[in-house]
Structure 1
Amino acid sequence: MHPEFPHQDIIHLNHAAVGPWPLRTAEAVTAFAQENTVSGSRHYGHWLEVEAATRALGQAVIGAQDPGDVAFVKNTSEALSIVAFGLPWSAGQNIVIPHGEFPSNRLVWLMAAERFGLEVREVELPFDAPEAALLAACDQRTALVSCSAVQFASGLRMDLQRLGPALHRRGVLFCVDAIQHLGALPFDAPAVEADFVMADAHKWLLAPEGIALFYVRPELRERILLQEFGWHMLADSGDYRSYALTVAEDARRFEPGSPNTLGIHALHASLSLLLEMGLDQIEAAIDERWQHLYSGLRSLGCAILTPPARHAGILTFRPARETTEILFRRLQDAGVLCAQRGGGIRFSPHFYLPIEALDQALAVVADDSGGG
């Protein structure tokens, strides 16, 4: 058992939905609450230091070039909305997205298309060549492609390093919903030539809901028409007497009002754990657990719905004999947290889960799968 994850009554195979907090994150939240109770905002200057430190940790997780390239927003949906309703569209342009995207990365583009006279093209992604399918849907009127780095249902992992440069050669913007990637795999926004990256913190980043990381390529920040305004986004946000009202040049321009200080303290703790572990090491540990589950499920006759050569942390499968619904209920009753997605059951293990816990989950599946 990992010391940061002492829970014993569950087997947490649901990090693609809502991940648990590490112990240090719970302690950071408790300490912050206690400080507020005892001292109020007396140490607000320290809170600002934690905010700056957390921005630097976010920079490392996204692979940005500077801490000022990272904004804190409420969630992935808010970040997508900033992009969709802030870009200077021209009527008749089109946006390309994969078919079957999570609703956040579909609804926002459909609403923007309705407002600005755009077309949304939804593309089926073949597992053997998903990037080629997206590129084939682009034409001279394509303004932007938006896709998840890892598909939430199938677990398909996109080759972002192939997709981003190919889109830029065509003059097409590249938006990446990285919520199923950050915290599970290393990420390098400049290397994949991402223009926009967003990810809520409550999945693989092991932090609370209500806070997310948002990256905009620095050259594009001023192209985004701002929709919300407040003191925190100003270049000199501490000078309340100033009438200059100059918006910050860095990503703080997307943070209009008072920050989610509690969420930032929690996120700081969670990101510190991930970076102490090392994202390369975390990727390797998750892959080991994925392969263990993959081998076990195959031996039980389950149908694997996630492409093995294209996986990240998600493994979606169908049971050999019983229905998905029945097996899902049995897993829940046995304390195995998972989800029903993509026509099957989705397991999503993180680095800290012991192999013995995975074997316990496989034993539940084996109860009625015809396996040993």
Structure 2
Amino acid sequence: MMADMDFPTLAYQWLVKQRIGVECRFVESPDRIYTPPELFEREVDDKTVLVATSRVFYTSGYIQDIRSVADIAHKHGAYMLVDDYQGTGQIPINVNAMDVDFLVTGTLKWLMGGPGLAFVYIREGLISQLQPTIAGWFGHSEQFQFKTREFDFRPDATRVEMGTPAVAAIYAANGGLDIVQEISVEQICERTRYLTNDLIAQAREHGWKVRAPLEPEQRSSIVMLEIEQPEEVVKALVARNIITDSRPGLLRASPYFYNTIEENALVIGAIAEILESRK
């Protein structure tokens, strides 16, 4: 069970397994902003094996109530998996409080570590019970015996490790992690929410439609503006040394802790000039 607003990669992992009997179902957001837990309540049943969804949605910035979704999954005997790529580093997290079984994330986004590294959390009590369907030599219980004809998993979390890690990427990622830990995710969250609220307010002053939750506490630092041909605006902003991104019909601006209110105004002003030049 997934949400139709999850990032496609999450869905693809299960869609390609349909050929071996996996059935994929999706709850549908009514407004492309929120996915209330009640939607999962209606769809999850005793045949559901896994609920897999994002803590933060990439096209609205909505922060899901993961604990409520996890409670629904567990009530029906299903596991709960969270994709936290869009949350880790900017929104505080506690896997025990959320009662999740699995969580995957990486250094690519708010941890400022670049591509090449991913993290997986598995509830400790599940580690010895589950048998991964893919394996690498780092997960072998006798790794350096180089046994080609037999395989036994390690008894601990290292059983999910694959091969030689991307050491260069680790060094790069440590720089970003050091900064995040020095500031603290809690302070980063407070700062980015302040910047996000300001950016949304400025956008609405221009009459632009913002696809974001109304409640500040349910927003992440993802601000989506509904604009025609947003990719053209992105290119024009790059020419002004302003980096944004686009999704179909949406311009995405994502202020982080190192940005300022003055830069928010600069971005909004630049977008306004670009849109005015279209007339």
**Structure 1 length as normaliser, TM-score?**
0.67
Q: CA RMSD in A?
A: 2.2
1:214 to 120, 127, 131: 120
Deviates more, 1:209-218 or 1:161-170: 161-170
What SS does the aligned partner of 2:24 have? strand
1:300–1:369 CA contact under 8 A, matched in 2 = no
**How far apart, CA to CA, are the structure 2 residues paired with 1:140 and 1:106?**
21
In 2, the alpha carbon distance for the partners of 1:171 and 1:105 equals 21
Q: CA deviation at 1:368?
A: 5.1
Query: What whole-Å deviation, never above 9, does each CA across 1:28-50 have from its counterpart, x for those lacking one?
Result: xxxxxxxxxxxxxxxxxxxxxxx
Q: Which residue of 2 aligns with 1:109?
A: 14
> What's 1:85 paired with?
none
Q: Give unmatched runs, 5+ long, in structure 2.
A: none
Which stretch shifts more, 193-202 or 219-228?
219-228
Q: Helix, strand or coil for the counterpart of 1:145?
A: strand
**Aligned-partner residue type, residue 348 of structure 1:** S
- Counterpart of 1:296 in structure 2 is 202
Does the alignment pair 1:191 with 2:191? no
In structure 1, distance between residues paired with 2:221 and 2:79: 27
Instruction: Give the equivalent residue in structure 2 for 1:336.
Output: 242
Identity in percent: 26
Q: Closer, same or farther in 2 for the Cα pair 1:302/1:113, shift >3 Å?
A: same
Aligned to 1:279: 185
- The change in CA–CA distance for 1:179 and 1:128 in structure 2 (over 3 A counts) is closer
CA shift at 1:118, angstroms? 2.4
Paired with 1:105 and 1:231, the residues of 2 have a C-alpha distance of 25
Report the alpha carbon displacement of residue 245 of structure 1 after superposing the two structures with TM.
Answer: 6.7
Q: Give the stretch that moved more between structures: 160-169 or 203-212.
A: 160-169
1:119 counterpart (19, 23, 33) = 23
Residue 342 of structure 1 and its aligned partner are, at CA, apart by 5.1
Give the TM-score, by structure 2 length: 0.88
Indicate conservation of the 8 Å contact 2:236/2:274, yes or no.
no
SS in 2 for 1:157: coil
Say if 2:226 is the partner of 1:318. Answer: yes
Equivalent in the alignment of 2:81: 175
Cα pair 1:153 1:342 within 8 Å, conserved: no
Judging changes above 3 Å, is the alpha-carbon distance between structure 1 residues 325 and 104 closer, same or farther for their aligned structure 2 residues?
closer
Q: How far, CA to CA, are the matches of 2:19 and 2:134 in structure 1?
A: 21
Once the two structures are superposed, residues 130-179 of structure 1 have per-residue CA deviations (whole angstroms, 9 ceiling, x without a partner) of 21112211112111111111111122210112221232122111111100
Q: SS state of the match for residue 182, structure 1?
A: coil
| Residues 231/119 of structure 1: CA separation in 2 closer, same or farther (3 Å cut) | closer
